[in-house]
Amino acid sequence: MEWVHGVCVAKGIRINGDVAHVKDDKLYCIPSNAGDLYLKKTTNFIVDELRFTLKLMELGIINEPKIIGYDMDMQVCLMRDMGGSDLSELPTLDMDIALDMFKALARIQKNSIQYANSEGFCGFDYTIGTMLEELDGLPDTACEMLLGTQYRLSQDEIERLKRNVAHVKVALDELKVSHIPNTIHHGDLAAYNVRIIDGKSIFYDWGCGGVAHPFFDTFRLLGNVRKKFPTDIPAKQIIVDTYIREWLEYGCYEELKGMFEAVGGLAGFYMAYVKYVRARNLHLSFAGKEGVATGDAVGLDRRYETAAIYLRRFLEHNY
């Protein structure tokens, strides 16, 4: 807490209450005269999120969360409470807010095209070309990664993974000629990572951030949002139509709609791939190291678990 006090003093902020643990031994709430502050700390995973977030803020692509201070060596970040409500906490949603949400997503994606395709890009590579290069080796690599864990794949699951991957490879090969450029990808764009503030949507927690075809980032959020509306309202159709029209500079509506549907058919695989890449990269970074910090060990185990969950969901698809 000494670091926190130092940052607050430098910013003219006075802590006026007890620190409260919020989540996973890495998120704490600190009351102050400037409102609630949040401290993220402890593991290497936060560094990826922080580095990516800071770059997007530097480029003016996003402007939340408001970061008060950070220290990469200590792996800590202090930020202000954003206010508003998490999308996951809202039982219903106004259609205007939903449409603005997907328009905002498209704006962020289009505003980051140049950065996402630059040599200085610092996120993960989820592009179709990279997926095609890695697909053949994915089943064996996933098997090896999970072998020494409680989440290991059975031989039957490995064989089914190989069969499904073969189908995906054909579908991806058809998509690689897309006229839409790759852009930044959130990687975990679900209701719990969207904040609604005065009717506007803020996307946060960019720890899985990377570069990809933009349409891949919509489907998980679309599923979350659709549940906020009565079944007699064609919410999905209305939202998808609005989102597609944000990309008309890259093709006619029918062409883009067909591409959106084709990408949607791969949404299950894509989420499994993102979780697999995140776990694989961390697995390789800690391979052979002794005395891994407790926070990192716990975080790595969670990445293994999440990758295994999404890979098994992908196996439920019968191609």
Give the pLDDT of residue 26.
74
Q: Look at the block and give the residue holding tokens 């800690």.
A: 286
The dihedral region occupied by 25, where left means phi > 0, alpha psi between -120 and 50, and beta the remainder, is left
In the predicted structure, residue 25 carries a pLDDT above the cut 80? no
Give the pLDDT of residue 295.
54
- Amino acid letter, 30: I
β partners of residue 202: 195
Q: How confident is the model at residue 289 (pLDDT cuts 50, 70, 90)?
A: low
Region 91-108 average pLDDT: 96
In this structure, are residues 124 and 210 in contact, taking their beta carbons and an 8 Å threshold? yes
Q: Where in the chain is the domain with CATH 3.30.200.20?
A: 2-81
Q: How confident is the model at residue 290 (pLDDT cuts 50, 70, 90)?
A: low
Task: Give CA–CA dist 59/283, Å, rounded.
Answer: 31
In this structure, are residues 104 and 201 in contact, taking their beta carbons and an 8 Å threshold? yes
What is the CATH number that goes with domain 2-81? 3.30.200.20
Task: Give CA–CA dist 98/239, Å, rounded.
Answer: 7
Give the pLDDT of residue 78.
87
The full 3-state SS of the chain, as one line of letters, equals: CHHHHHHHHHHCCCECCCCEEEECCCEEEECECCCCEEEECCCHHHHHHHHHHHHHHHCCCCCCCCEEEEECCCCEEEEECCCCEEHHHCCCCCHHHHHHHHHHHHHHHHHCHHHHCCCCCCCEECCHHHHHHHHHHHHHHHHHHHCCCCCCCCHHHHHHHHHHHHHHHHHHHHHCCCCCCCEEECCCCCHHHEEEECCEEEECCCCCCEEECHHHHCHHHHHHHHCCCCCCCCHHHHHHHHHHHCCHHHCCHHHHHHHHHHHHCCHHHHHHHHHHHHHHHHHHHHCCCCCCCHHHHHHHHHHHHHHHHHHHHHHCCCC
Give the pLDDT of residue 47.
58
In the predicted structure, residue 172 carries a pLDDT above the cut 90? yes
Q: Where in the chain is the domain with CATH 3.90.1200?
A: 86-315
Tokens standing for 172? Answer: 């991806």
Minimum mean pLDDT range among 170-179, 188-197, 239-248 = 170-179
In the predicted structure, residue 32 carries a pLDDT above the cut 60? yes
Residue 298's nearest CA partner among 45, 116, 91, 70 is: 45
Task: Give CA–CA dist 254/245, Å, rounded.
Answer: 10
Tokens standing for 304? Answer: 């293994």
Region 125-130 average pLDDT: 94
> Average pLDDT over the chain, rounded to whole?
88
Q: What angle do CA 304, 126, 268 make, to 5 degrees?
A: 65
Q: How many CB atoms lie within 10 A of CB 159?
A: 12
Give the pLDDT of residue 103.
97
Give the pLDDT of residue 53.
85
Region 254-275 average pLDDT: 94
Minimum mean pLDDT range among 57-66, 215-224, 234-243, 259-268 = 57-66
Question: How would CATH label the architecture of 86-315?
Answer: Alpha-Beta Complex (3.90)
Share of the chain above pLDDT 90, in %: 56
Q: How confident is the model at residue 24 (pLDDT cuts 50, 70, 90)?
A: low
Ramachandran angles phi, psi of 275, nearest 5°: -65, -35
Give the pLDDT of residue 97.
96
Rg for the chain (alpha carbons), in Å? 21
The sign one gets for the Cα dihedral 199, 205, 211, 214 is negative
Give the pLDDT of residue 319.
64
Q: Per residue in 34-73, pLDDT tens?
A: 888 888 775 555 556 778 888 888 888 888 878 888 887 7
